[in-house]
Amino acid sequence: MKILAIESSCDETAAAIVEDGRKILSNIIFSQIEVHKEYGGVVPEIASRYHIEKISEIVSRALKEADLSMSEIDAVAATTAPGLIGALLVGLNYAKGLAYREGLPFIPVHHLRGHIAANYLAHPDLTPPFTALVVSGGHSHIVRCDDYTDFTVVGKTRDDAAGEAFDKGARILGLPYPGGVHLDKLAQKGDRLAVAFPRVHFENGSLDFSFSGVKTSIVNLIHQKKMKGETWDAADIAASYMHAITDVLCENFMIAATRDGMKNIVLAGGVSANSMLREKVLKMASEQGFSVFMPPLSLCGDNAAMIGAQAFYEWRAGHLGDLSQNARPTMAIDLNFM
């Protein structure tokens, strides 16, 4: 089954064609990083405008790269939640219109489910059940995946996401946008034990996260040094800051997988590209006997191939949409579109 998938939840306009949820026939991405760089972050109105300008071109390029025509496509899918509402609506409405014109099924896809599904494209032998750590600029979730469309949230952030914390740390250290990537590069040159940043663990067995405290800690640290006229080693601070955040992510992740009796664990989301996080997950999994699956760097960020992968399993489960389908800025991963 060949699915044309569209992703427009934030600042990437993307289209891909995926076969049977496992094989990428094409994967085209237009990134708006250069557009938003001067603002230091994504401006929703500008993102939506660029999606409108680029989406037809990107879909045409996806068909051309796959050497297919619309008559050879079996279904159309689009990210429908969560994300920037204006951005989501561009991709969703384009996909619905295309599906209606061609008389094809329309498949709504949850963005975080798509990030998990990126691993199906990279690892043909991966099948549920498994425990997934989904980390991005807006989300930090530990998810038990009992089947391709059966998800249970085991832990999540109570305030800020890990990716948001990385970006905040990068801004405080004067690094350019997008901050997380530059923070990662700088941290590789520093001593991760130089600064003791706080780590939050909740009582009563909760595996939730909280990163607001560590964000405040790095802001206060730099502010105090500036007030005292002291110098600081930015690489050491970056490494220590990243060490604190990834420690909590990995510790809770491993506890969750152990509790649920999983043999396989999966890393997903934009922050899954972080070098320290990947290093720690591999090390801790090896020590505790888990098999680890993580996407290649090319599939960590937002892309349409991951949406096409998950769309196949949503279609197989009968989770289809129609012309009344609306976008949602927020939506739990364990809910199905109706």
**pLDDT tens sequence across 159-189:** 999 999 999 999 999 999 999 999 999 999 9
Q: Is residue 49 domain-shared with residue 93, that is, in the same domain?
A: yes
Cα three-residue angle 113-117-120, rounded to 5 degrees: 165
Identify whether 325 is part of a domain: no
Residue 258 has pLDDT above 80, yes or no: yes
Identify whether 333 is part of a domain: no
Identify whether 329 is part of a domain: no
- What is the per-residue pLDDT for 203? 86
Q: What DSSP assignment string belongs to 137-205?
A: SS-EEEEEEEETTEEEEEEEBSS--HHHHHHHHHHHTTPPSSHHHHHHHHHTTS-TTSS-------STT
Q: Is residue 198 domain-shared with residue 292, that is, in the same domain?
A: yes
Confidence class for position 329, pLDDT limits 50, 70, 90:
very high
Q: What is the CA radius of gyration of the chain?
A: 20
**pLDDT tens sequence across 219-236:** 999 999 999 999 999 999
Identify whether 169 is part of a domain: yes
Q: Is residue 151 domain-shared with residue 246, that is, in the same domain?
A: yes
Q: Is residue 199 domain-shared with residue 291, that is, in the same domain?
A: yes
Confidence class for position 137, pLDDT limits 50, 70, 90:
confident
Q: Is residue 18 domain-shared with residue 111, that is, in the same domain?
A: yes
Q: How many domains does the chain have?
A: 2
Confidence class for position 37, pLDDT limits 50, 70, 90:
confident
Q: Is residue 86 domain-shared with residue 233, that is, in the same domain?
A: no
Q: Is residue 147 domain-shared with residue 56, that is, in the same domain?
A: no
Q: What is the pTM of this model?
A: 0.96
Identify whether 145 is part of a domain: yes
Mean predicted confidence (pLDDT) in 95-124: 98
Q: Is residue 185 domain-shared with residue 310, that is, in the same domain?
A: no
Identify whether 243 is part of a domain: yes
Q: Which domain holds residue 51?
A: 2-116+299-316
> CATH code at 256?
3.30.420.40
**pLDDT tens sequence across 97-107:** 999 999 999 99
Q: Is residue 159 domain-shared with residue 223, that is, in the same domain?
A: yes
Q: Is residue 217 domain-shared with residue 134, that is, in the same domain?
A: yes
Q: Is residue 279 domain-shared with residue 305, that is, in the same domain?
A: no
Q: Is residue 61 domain-shared with residue 195, that is, in the same domain?
A: no
Identify whether 336 is part of a domain: no
Mean predicted confidence (pLDDT) in 58-67: 98
Mean predicted confidence (pLDDT) in 25-37: 93
Residue 40 has pLDDT above 90, yes or no: no
- What is the per-residue pLDDT for 217? 97
- What is the per-residue pLDDT for 38? 83
CA distance 29 to 14: 4
Residue 338 has pLDDT above 80, yes or no: no
In three-state form (DSSP H/G/I as H, E/B as E, the rest C), the secondary structure along 272-307 is HHCHHHHHHHHHHHHHHCCEEECCCHHHCCCCHHHH
Residue 282 and residue 293 in contact, taking contact as beta carbons nearer than 8 Å = no
Identify whether 51 is part of a domain: yes
Q: Angle, to 10 degrees, between the axis of helix 162-172 and the axis of helix 179-187? A: 70
